[in-house]
Amino acid sequence: MAQTSWSPHPRLTLLQQEIREGFFFLFPAVFLIFGITLFPIVFTFVISFTTTPLSNPAPQNFVGLSNYWSFLRNVQFWQAIARTAYFTVVSVGAELLLGLGIALLIHARPPGWAFLRTSLIIPWAVPTIVNGALWRWIYNADYGALNGLLYSLGILQKYRPWLTEPMTALNLVIVADIWHSVPFIALILQAALATLPVELDEAAAVDGANAWQRFWLIRLPLLRPAILVALVIRTVEAFRVFDIIYVITQGGPAFGTVTISYLTYLESFSYGRLGSGAALSFLITLFTFLMAIVYIRLLYRPEFRE
Amino acid sequence: MRYLSLHFVLIGLLLIVMLSGCAGQATPTGPTVIKVLAMQQAGPTPEEMNAIVAEFNQKNPNIKVEIEYVAYDALHDKIVTAMATTPPSYDVILVDDIWYAEFVKAGYLWDVTDKIDAQTKEKIFQAAWDITTVNGRIYGMPWLLDAKYFYYNKKILNEAGFDRPPATWEELVEQGRVIKEKGLVDYPIAWSWAQAEAAICDFVALLYGNGGRFVDEEGKPAFNDEKGVQVLEWMVKTIDEGISNPASVSYVEEDVRNVFSQGKAAFALNWIYMYNLAALEEEESQVVGQVEMSLVPVFEAVAKQGIKSATINGSMGFSVVGKSPNPEVAWEYVKYLTSEDVQKRYASHLLPVWSANYEGEALEALKALNPATPVTVPMFKEQFPYAHVRPKVPYYLEGSKALQLALQEALTKQKTAAQALNDAAAKWLELQGK
């Protein structure tokens, strides 16, 4: 047996052997990736061209693009897109501003900053479902904390209902989402701030730049890659928002908080139309994909490369 | 090469182990396993349900029942996803009244019409059979009989100077005005008018109380006729006047229970479960000892016709899954679970579907079961004959969503009552055409 290792091309054999073994060890991972990611995506794509019902989910009754087409002509779809866009822009915008503010505050290390940084984790650590249930209680018209607070501060003369008007309800769901997600952005930005070179700041201070100029002209440009990363993650997440709405408003009042993901849920599971539900989810994918392209382009602009 | 072949051997061994594991499952040697999907909400507690399963398993050594519970709101989706596999994940499922048509059309349920003898048929309330019957065929045993009941706070009513609850909705508004003027509560009645099935339940109770109906003989929507529009306009008006709690638009049954239990409402409409919690449980309620029940009112015009009440039927049945490999065995369990004997012995949290339990000695025994039943059992007997079912149509869920939207559009003043209901009716017609 020892003789075989003295073959004329020992190195090549070894390489081949490694390649073969490599494939062998990769197989389970590849299998899993195909099995739990790629296959469902392809399957969903296929049934999005059919009227497959949930009661019999084998792909059937090919209808071409008509699922997509009927949504693109559907008012409810565009209303849901508009609501989702509003939700995304407002919540991510507010989260970014607040997150940046909190990050700068922690970075300045005021007394108790370590406690602040730790307690910041709490809203982020709360599961979205729990967060939703929490805010549902806070917003309750008859025994909610929000009415209690505003009433005892004298801002409200009388308890008022919060979730009975579509636009108000949507804004209040946004507030709940902001509370949940600000810590995420704050922590990313705080970590990025900690890595910035102090010398630039000091040099600018010596040259007579005030605090605002140092922030606006030095820190902010240096923070841009971190901001973009946080934005990409949060925008895609916000665009797919579902669970917090499911818990707080169930899409109400009057469909006022039905976002595009909620519409997909209704279509697929409540109405049992797997085919058109799949088409909707691909439309969502398309939107998030476009956003991702824009962000990636921004991220990889030459000035961001060191 | 040596290592490689070792890997092959190892992975081969692994495969053999895995495959033999699968094969072991495929050859049944022990008792036939029956999987049951039930809910943990209203009705019996899981402990009681488990006790019934244990009894059945003991009496039938060759059958093994395994039971799982989910919340009501998750039940429909859990069923429809479970039914997508062959064989399905469950042999017996708990089905809500309004899902029967959808499930029958999808072929989920086993037809048991020929398995029910005349005697059984006669001894169970007809209204209970309506739950599990679709197009004249029976697809399960009725199990949970519920309706919305009218609750009132006797103390608030007395303080306002009334000695009896309202018999009509007009009277409720009058009493409400006095209660409001005297500052006893801000809003005399709380409803579950959120964008959920709960809103449809309240609307149906009011609709039939105004002489309206959900659909006509041909199954075409009738909720948008004159009677229906009047009801929805009345709902909007009572909010404007502050008789109905404006937060009702965001409330489901549990919110109504909380508001009522805090003494912040004089009246409420809710299922039977609220009685025990609001009237008897100190930990759950601040109005213990003040809660009474009476017939759900109707509108005056209907009361003049001699109709005393109208409410919604919200009941459920247990059915055998059509694709189950052992439907006959599964049916044995369903029969046991819904049998007269079991229902009588486990009647603390749900009332029996067997009419025999409501007569003579059986009735006295039923009333003495727990502190709630002396009130709930007679109330059930009185109220249930006035319970109306929602249409049994396969597109119910989507139709209901359209109607929920209509109610909310009118309540939030985005559309007039007539316009909103007509739009919902158009959606129903479109769904019927599909």
**Residues B307 and B318 reside in one and the same domain:** no
B196 and B158 both lie in a single domain:
yes
* Interface contact B286, partner A, CB < 8 A: no
Q: Over 80: is that where the pLDDT of B14 sits?
A: no
Nearest C-alpha in A relative to B242: A160
Burial class (CB in 10 A: 0-12, 13-18, 19+), A8: exposed
Interface contact flag, A141 B250, Cβ < 8 Å: yes
Contact pairs from chain A to chain B, CB under 8 Å:
112
Residue B255 sits in the same domain as residue B384: no
- B220 in a domain, yes or no? yes
Averaged confidence pLDDT in chain A:
88
What is the token pair recorded at B284?
């759950």
Q: Check residue B7 and give its pLDDT.
A: 56
Q: Which residues contact B60 (CB under 8 A, 6 or more apart)?
A: B31, B332
A148 interface with B at CB cutoff 8 Å:
no
Provide, as residue numbers in chain B, all residues whose Cβ is less than 8 Å from the Cβ of A253. 194-195, 249-250, 408, 411-412
Q: Is B214 in the same domain as B275? A: yes
Q: Which residues contact A226 (CB under 8 A, 6 or more apart)?
A: A188, A189, A191, A192
Q: What is the 3-state secondary structure (H, E, C) of A199-245?
A: HHHHHHHHCCCCHHHHHHHHHHHHHHHHHHHHHHHHHHHHHCCCHHH
- CA dist A272 and B291 (Å) reads 41
Could you tell me if residue A279 is left (phi over 0), alpha (psi between -120 and 50 degrees) or otherwise beta? alpha
d(CA A38, CA B226): 54
Which residues, in sequence order, are bridge partners of residue B268?
B151, B190
Indicate yes or no: CB of A161 within 8 angstroms of CB of B246: yes
Mean pLDDT confidence for A59-81: 91
| Residue range B112-122: mean pLDDT, rounded | 93
Q: Considering only alpha carbons, which residue of chain A is nearest residue B248? A: A164
**Which residues does residue A94 pair with via DSSP β-bridges, in sequence order?**
none
User: Residues A250-278: pLDDT tens digits?
Assistant: 888 999 999 999 999 999 988 889 999 99
In B, which residues are within 8 Å of A54 by CB distance?
80-81, 84
Amino acid identity for residue B265 in this structure: A
8 Å CB contact between B284 and B76: no
Q: Residue B201 pLDDT > 90, yes or no?
A: yes
Co-location of B402 and B382 in the same domain: no
Of A141, A166, A266, nearest to B247 by CB-CB distance is A141
Residue finishing a domain among B352, B370, B388: B388
- Hey, is the C-beta of B424 within 8 angstroms of any chain A C-beta? no
Of A1, A143, A250, the CB nearest to B262: A143
Q: Is residue B6 part of a domain?
A: no
pLDDT-derived band at A3 (thresholds 50, 70, 90) equals very low
- Within 54-113 of A, beta carbons closer than 8 Å to B belong to 54-57
User: By C-alpha distance, which of A269, A56, A54, A53 is closest to B77?
Assistant: A269
* Claim to verify: residue B163 and residue B291 sit in the same structural domain: yes
> Which chain B residue is nearest to residue A137, measuring alpha carbons?
B255
Residue B8 lies in a domain: no
The per-residue pLDDT of chain B, averaged, comes to 90
Task: Specify the pLDDT at position B21.
Answer: 46
Here the tokens at position B387 are 């319970």
Is B13 contained in some domain? no
Share of chain A above pLDDT 70, in %: 94
Q: Are B221 and B215 in contact (CB under 8 A)?
A: yes
Contact list in B for residue A269 (CB cut-off 8 A) is 76-77, 80-81
- Same domain as B307, residue B319: no
Beta bridge partners of B33: B64
Query: Does the CA dihedral A152-A154-A159-A164 come out positive or negative?
Result: negative
Answer whether residue B380 is part of any domain.
Answer: yes
Residues B222 and B141 in one domain: no
Q: Which neighbouring-strand residues pair with B215?
A: B221
Q: What is the mean pLDDT of residues A227-253?
A: 90
* CATH homologous superfamily of A71-304: MetI-like (1.10.3720.10)
Report helix, strand or coil for B418: helix
A248: closest chain B residue by CA: B250
Q: What is the 3-state secondary structure (H, E, C) of chain A?
A: CHHHHHCCCHHHHHHHHHHHHHHHHHHHHHHHHHHHHHHHHHHHHHHCCECCECCCCCCCCECCCHHHHHHHCCHHHHHHHHHHHHHHHHHHHHHHHHHHHHHHHHHCCCCCHHHHHHHHHHHHHCCHHHHHHHHHHHCCCCCCHHHHHHHHCCCCCCCCCCCCCHHHHHHHHHHHHHHHHHHHHHHHHHHHHHHCCHHHHHHHHHCCCCHHHHHHHHHHHHHHHHHHHHHHHHHHHHHCCCHHHHHHCCCCCCCCCCCHHHHHHHHHHHCCEHHHHHHHHHHHHHHHHHHHHHHHHHHCCHHHCC
Position B19 in a domain: no
Q: With bands split at pLDDT 50, 70 and 90, how would you rate the model's confidence at A7?
A: low
How many other C-beta atoms lie within 10 A of the C-beta of residue B289?
10
pLDDT, average across residues B117-134: 90
pLDDT score for B25: 47
Q: Which two tokens stand for residue A232?
A: 């990409």
Per-residue pLDDT tens digits for B211-258 = 999 999 888 999 999 999 999 999 999 999 999 999 999 999 889 999
Do B362 and B413 lie in one domain? The reply is: no
Q: Which of B83, B108, B408 sits opposite A254 (nearest CB)?
A: B408
**Dihedral pair phi/psi, residue B244, rounded to 5°:** -90, 140
In chain A, residues with a C-beta closer than 8 Å to the C-beta of B405 are: 254-255
CB A180, CB A243: distance < 8 Å: no
Q: Is B414 exposed, middle or buried (0-12, 13-18, 19+ CB in 10 A)?
A: middle
pLDDT of residue B140: 96
Are A250 and B194 within 8 A, CB to CB?
A: yes
The answer to whether A21 contacts B4, with C-beta atoms less than 8 Å apart, is: yes
Indicate yes or no: CB of B246 within 8 angstroms of CB of A271.
no
Q: Do residues B182 and B299 both lie within one domain?
A: yes
pLDDT computed for residue A302 by the predictor: 64
- Say if A169 is an interface residue toward chain B (CB within 8 Å): yes
Contact A54, B81 (CB under 8 A): yes
Give me the mean pLDDT over the A82-87 stretch: 96
Cβ contacts of A143 within 8 Å, gap of 6 or more: B258, B259, B262, B264
CA triple A279-A283-A285, angle to 5 deg? 115
Say yes or no: B23 contacts chain A, CB-CB below 8 A: no
CB-CB under 8 Å, A142 with B245: yes
Q: Are residues B183 and B266 in the same domain?
A: yes
Question: Among positive and negative, which fits the CA dihedral B297, B302, B308, B314?
Answer: negative
Contacts of B245 in chain A (CB under 8 A): 141-142, 161
Assess if residue B212 is contained within a domain. yes
Q: Could you give the CA distance from residue B320 to residue B140 in angstroms, rounded to a whole number?
A: 7
Residues from chain B that touch A250, judged by Cβ atoms under 8 A, are 194-196
Chain A residue numbers touching B284 (CB-CB < 8 A): none
Please say whether the beta carbons of B312 and B387 come within 8 A. Answer: yes
Domain ranges of chain A: 2-47, 71-304
**How distant is the Cα of A306 from the closest Cα of chain B, in angstroms?**
45
Number of folded domains in chain B?
2
Enclosing domain of residue B281: 149-312+395-433
The residue of chain B with its CA nearest to that of A257 is: B195
Res A1: pLDDT:
44
Asked if B22 has any chain A CB less than 8 Å from its own CB, the reply is no
Q: Is B257 on the interface with A (CB under 8 A)?
A: no
- Which residues in chain B have their CB less than 8 angstroms from residue A142's CB? 190, 245, 247, 255, 258-259, 262, 264
CA distance A131 to chain B (A): 18
Residues B282 and B421 in one domain: yes
**Does A17 sit within 8 Å of B194, measured CB to CB?**
no
Instruction: Provide ipTM, 2 decimals.
Output: 0.80
pLDDT surpasses 80 at A304: no
Helix (H) or strand (E) holding B318: strand B316-320
Express each pLDDT in A201-224 by its tens digit.
Answer: 888 888 888 888 888 888 888 888
CATH number of the domain encompassing residue B56:
3.40.190.10
Contact A47, A274 (CB under 8 A): yes
pLDDT at B26 over 70: no
Q: Do residues A241 and A81 touch, judged by C-beta distance below 8 A?
A: no
**Amino acid symbol at B390:** R
Chain B residues touching A56 at Cβ < 8 A = 84, 106
Of A17, A56, A254, the CB nearest to B405: A254
Average pLDDT in the A192-197 region?
Answer: 89
Closest residue of B to A271, CA-based?
Answer: B398
The per-residue pLDDT for B207 is 97
Non-local (6+) Cβ contacts of B275 within 8 A are B149, B151, B291, B293, B372, B375, B376, B379
Which residues, in sequence order, are CB contacts of A231 under 8 Å at separation 6+? A92, A96, A295
